[in-house]
Structures are given as structure tokens and as C-alpha cells.
Structure 1
Amino acid sequence: MIKKLIDGYCQLISYLIAAALAVMVVLVFGNVFMRYAFDSGFILSEELSRWLFVWLTFLGAIVAVRDNGHLGTDMLVGRLGPLGKKVCMGLSLVLMLFCLWLLFKGSYDQTVINWETTSAVMEVSMSWFYASGMVFSVLSAPILLGNLWRLLSGQIDDEHLLLMQESEDAPHGDAGKSH
């Protein structure tokens, strides 16, 4: 049930990422065309593209957390036995949860500090910009907590004790595949 919920919100996030990327492409190339053809451009193109890029990055990182798609190295962990791998996985999950807390706290503080500050061109509260870190933290935490629960309850077999992929392990066509 929880896995279906996480898969569902990751699918929704993938659609949001695609939409943000499409809007960015239209804004940037439209602005380039307008500058060359008509010697003018979209005023908010650069700022909105920057905001979308930040949100796209954080949303994409959520999907990468779910797919264990962040690059890493297993030079040390790969040499350990099953118990050592489990300890390292548990430790890494706890450390990632701590990092999520730090990111959430920092993003929250920046959101509060910038609540009254507006962006230069769009005149939107800068808190929306900094809220991307909070959204990433809140939506990534259940994934990591689920992995930690699966580890502690013995639901992870020895083959799946590594939480990352080597760059050679993921062919380019595998990017959207769920694991």
C-alpha cells in the first residue's frame, strides 16, 4: 500500500518535472528568438527558468532517492559481509535522514526569513523558492524511512543491500524504470 502511494507520487513528480522542463525550454528558446528577431524578450523568462530549474532539481532528487539512482561507490561496502552491509546501509539511511532534517530546517528558516521578500521580476514571495528544499525533505523522508523499516524488519535480501548505482550499472535507457 505504502509502496503504491510512493510510486504514485513519484509518477506525479515525473510529470511535474516534464512540464517544468517543457516550460523552461519554451521560455529560454522563446526569449532567444524574441531577442534576435524583435530585439526584445520575455521579462520574466530568466527568473522563472531559474526557479523552475531549482524545483526540477529537487523534485528529480526525490525520484532518484526512490530509485536509488544517486551515484556512489561501493569499494568498501562491497567487500563486507552481509552483516557489515546491513550495518552500513542502516548507518547511511540514518545519516541521510539527518541530512534531510538539516535541509528541512535550513529551508524552513530561509522560507520564514524571505516570506516578505519578493523576487525582482515576478514579484512573488521568495519563500516559494526556498520551499523547494522543504518539499524535497518531506517527500524523501518516507522513502528513506520505508527503506530503514525494510532493513530492520529483515525484508531486504543480501543482493539489495547497496543503496546506489555505479554509473556503468544503469544504462541510459533505464532512467525512468522503477525498481
Structure 2
Amino acid sequence: MSYIVDAYFWILKVLIAFLMAAMVVLVFGNVVLRYGFNSGITLSEEVSRWMFVWLTFLGAIVAMRENGHLGVDSLVRRLPLLGKKICFTSSYVLMLYGTSLLLIGSWQQSLINWDVVAPASGLSVACFYAVGLVFGVSTIPILLVGLYRVLLGRADESELVTIRESEEEDVDKIQKRHLADPEGFHGMPAAPAIGGRT
């Protein structure tokens, strides 16, 4: 089962990379055509806008699984175990509620706009709202599993803080791994530490 889940999130990452590359080609290509050849790609603005929305939601799904969303954790880290569990449970219940509303609303909008055609691309506008369905169906299981693990006491205390105030923690972890095993870290030699010490 974990193999299927890993494969699904790998596909999402590939889609994100594809959408980013396609957006660059459409937007940059349109700029070059407009200023250089007095021409343009008709569907560039519309499709790139849709791609950006899909890119954002797909990235949010991946970040949800990897606990990559930024937030304020200074209070939660100082709470005792029970306080962390209460904060975790309440935040996950609220996220489940919000995601459920998004899922229901996206489903209704997709049905309403199924026969509505976008002016430039000719695609169904339901394609735009379908990203909410993908987001809801993908993130609700993540939230339910996290809630299930905490309520049954299977989660470690470190798992109860699912947000970070900054990305500096990741940089610190990478530097510590690099200094602990300089040859094993992609075969690169250890960099000197701040202040000239090695």
C-alpha cells in the first residue's frame, strides 16, 4: 500500500514539474512572440493561469504529506504532551472541515460549469474547478491518518508539531548531516563552518 501512495505522490511531483515547465514555455513564448514578431499564443494567458492554480494545489498536497507548510510553532513546541495533542487534534479537525467544504464546493462548481466553455482554449471550465476535487480527495486521507495515529497514541511527540516557522531547520539538518559524514553526502567535501572553523 505504501508503494502505491509513494507512486501517487511521485506522479504529483512529475505533474508539478511539467506544469511549471509548460507555464514557462507559454508565458515566455508569448512575450517573445508579442514583442519580436507582433504575434502571440491565443490560449497562453488562460491556460497558464489554470496551470498556476493546478500547480499551487498539487504543491499543497505534496507539502501536506511532507509537513512542509510554514506556520507559527513557537507556542505549540512549549506545550506539554497533552497540550500538543489538543492543538494537533483541533487543527486537524478544522482542516478536515475546511477541506470537506472545498471538496463539496468544487464538486458542485464542476457540475455547474461542465458545459461552460472557456473563451480562449475551448476547454470545459469544470477542468478549472476539478483541482479542488483532486486536492480534497488527496488531503482528506492524509488528515484522517494523522488524526487516527494521534488519537490512538501511535504518533511520536515530534509528529505533533506539523508546521515550521521557517525553512532554517531544514538547512540546519542538511548542514549537520554534511558535517557528520562529508564523503557520504553526495561525495562533496565538508564546507568550512562559520567563523573559519572546520
Q: CA deviation at 1:79?
A: 2.1
TM-score by length of 2: 0.82
C-alpha distance 55-29 of structure 1, shift in aligned 2 (>3 A)? same
CA contact (8 A) 1:6 1:143 kept: no
Q: CA deviation at 1:69?
A: 0.9
- When structure 1 is superposed on structure 2, of 41-50 and 149-158 the one drifting more is 149-158
Identity, % of aligned positions: 52
C-alpha distance 49-172 of structure 1, shift in aligned 2 (>3 A)? farther
Q: CA deviation at 1:87?
A: 1.5
Q: Which residue of structure 2 aligns with residue 33 of structure 1?
A: 32
Whole-Å separation in 2 of the counterparts to 1:17 and 1:69: 16
1:113 is matched by which residue type in structure 2?
I
Q: Which residue of structure 2 aligns with residue 136 of structure 1?
A: 135
1:17-39, Cα deviation, whole Å (9 max, x unpaired):
00011111111111111112210
Matches within 5 A, 1:1-179: 1=1, 3-167=2-166, 168-171=168-171
How many corresponding residue pairs?
173
- When structure 1 is superposed on structure 2, of 150-159 and 164-173 the one drifting more is 164-173
- When structure 1 is superposed on structure 2, of 151-160 and 85-94 the one drifting more is 151-160
1:95 is matched by which residue type in structure 2?
L
Whole-Å separation in 1 of the counterparts to 2:40 and 2:17: 24
2:152 is matched by which residue type in structure 1?
S
What 5-or-longer segments of structure 2 have no aligned partner?
175-198
* Bigger Rg, structure 1 or 2: 2
C-alpha distance 113-40 of structure 1, shift in aligned 2 (>3 A)? same
Q: Which residue of structure 1 aligns with residue 195 of structure 2?
A: none
CA contact (8 A) 1:17 1:59 kept: yes
What 5-or-longer segments of structure 1 have no aligned partner?
175-179
Q: CA deviation at 1:126?
A: 0.4
Q: Per chain length, whose mean CA-contact separation is higher, i.e. which structure has more relative contact order (CA < 8 Å, sep 6+)? A: 1
C-alpha distance 173-113 of structure 1, shift in aligned 2 (>3 A)? farther
1:23 is matched by which residue type in structure 2?
A
1:170 is matched by which residue type in structure 2?
D
Whole-Å separation in 2 of the counterparts to 1:116 and 1:49: 21
- When structure 1 is superposed on structure 2, of 151-160 and 61-70 the one drifting more is 151-160
Secondary structure (helix, strand or coil) at the match of 1:169 reads helix
Whole-Å separation in 2 of the counterparts to 1:137 and 1:170: 27
